[in-house]
Structure 1
């Protein structure tokens, strides 16, 4: 049976995710103790919880989410795990964010509680904060 992040114990996923707190932000990096961006943090946690990534990730530019109509992040996430509705997402779930209602998804975090999530944020690194409607 193949394990995925979505089938992993949420308590374990959150513990691993929190071990990344304070890691500096670095584009395209995905190494705990070195640096990561939001996608890299999710990739690093995947490797720690599940194992090797199932497919190579192509390089991407800093403005990748600003160009084109494709939801590259969402398409990649769907290849790795089942999509669930936001109302069904609980602690340990990977969540994708759109910065405006009709924009493409271009940010990723992990829910750590009903109103909190952990993500990598430029200039701040990996942080845990309140999940608010905006």
Structure 2
């Protein structure tokens, strides 16, 4: 009787552990980012990511309305990365970043919160991004 009870308890614990692991993997929305350094100031954003698979996002607030242009520089030593600017309603700008990229994030802004999303379908390494206001 005791052996059967221990077997049932062990099976239930195993099922709970497997279930918790699956839920954790399914609910993880931003992917895997390692060795991240973020520096947000009034003049811009400096971001360094050692390795990324999935998405990494930073929220910013913009108070300007109308056309906006934010200069950026990006360096990726390994892999392919996309950079997106997203309002609460839609993606307002998207660019696939080559190993060395410079340009402007340009879109028509409305005051509010925006997400800057760095996305890598496959693992990318040594990502450095600067966005200037």
Q: Is the TM value for this pair above 0.5? A: no
Report the TM-score, using the length of structure 2 for normalisation. 0.27
The structure with the largest alpha-carbon Rg is 2
Name the structure with the higher strand share: 2
Name the structure with the higher helix share: 1
